[in-house]
Amino acid sequence: MDQKVNYANYWVQTVSTKSKNQDYAWDFIQFASSEANVEKYLMDNRFPTALRSTKMINKQLAEPDLAPFAEQLLTAKSWYKGYDSASAEKIFTDMIDNVLQGTLTSVEALKQGAEKTNRTFAPNI
């Protein structure tokens, strides 16, 4: 049997090492990302959870507009392991735009996008 895999796009919070208030910033991130605090925010704003909490997943499975995301949460993986995620995201946007505008066929856009994305896997030296 094939194992289901979904690809995710998510952001990770961090604190600069140059921050004068690192401890306060990390405390805030811990506070804001705790299940008790994130639940109300997510439900009020209709955002899917990134927490792998059974409680949150089950709650969102009951919501028609959030259920597709909740169903994918436990099988979601990050596909991009390169050095320039912003460029990779732009490459995907450009591929879609080029196909929609008729500038490239889907095959041409995918080939061009793969070539450009592969270049982002090498560090800029």
Single pTM value for the model: 0.61
Along the chain (125 residues), what's the average pLDDT of each consecutive run of 10 residues? 78 90 95 88 88 90 93 86 88 97 97 94 70
- How confident is the model at residue 110, as a pLDDT? 97
Give the model's pLDDT for residue 11.
75
Query: What per-residue confidence (pLDDT) applies to 82?
Result: 85
10 falls within a domain: no
d(CA 4, CA 61): 18
Q: Is residue 1 part of a domain?
A: no
Longest dimension (CA), the chain: 52
Residues 23 and 73 occupy one common structural domain: yes
Query: For tokens 């499975």, what's the residue?
Result: 61
Query: Quick one: DSSP state of residue 78?
Result: E
Question: Do 72 and 36 belong to one domain?
Answer: yes
Give me the residues paired with residue 55 across strands.
none
In this predicted structure, what is the pLDDT of residue 94?
97
In this prediction, residue 52 carries a pLDDT of 86
Count of domains forming the chain: 2
Q: Does the residue 2 lie in any domain? A: no
**d(C-alpha 9, C-alpha 62), whole Å:** 23
Are 28 and 69 in the same domain? yes
Q: So what's the pLDDT on residue 40? A: 87
Please check whether residues 61 and 89 belong to one and the same domain: no
Owning domain of residue 24: 19-77
95 & 62 share domain = no
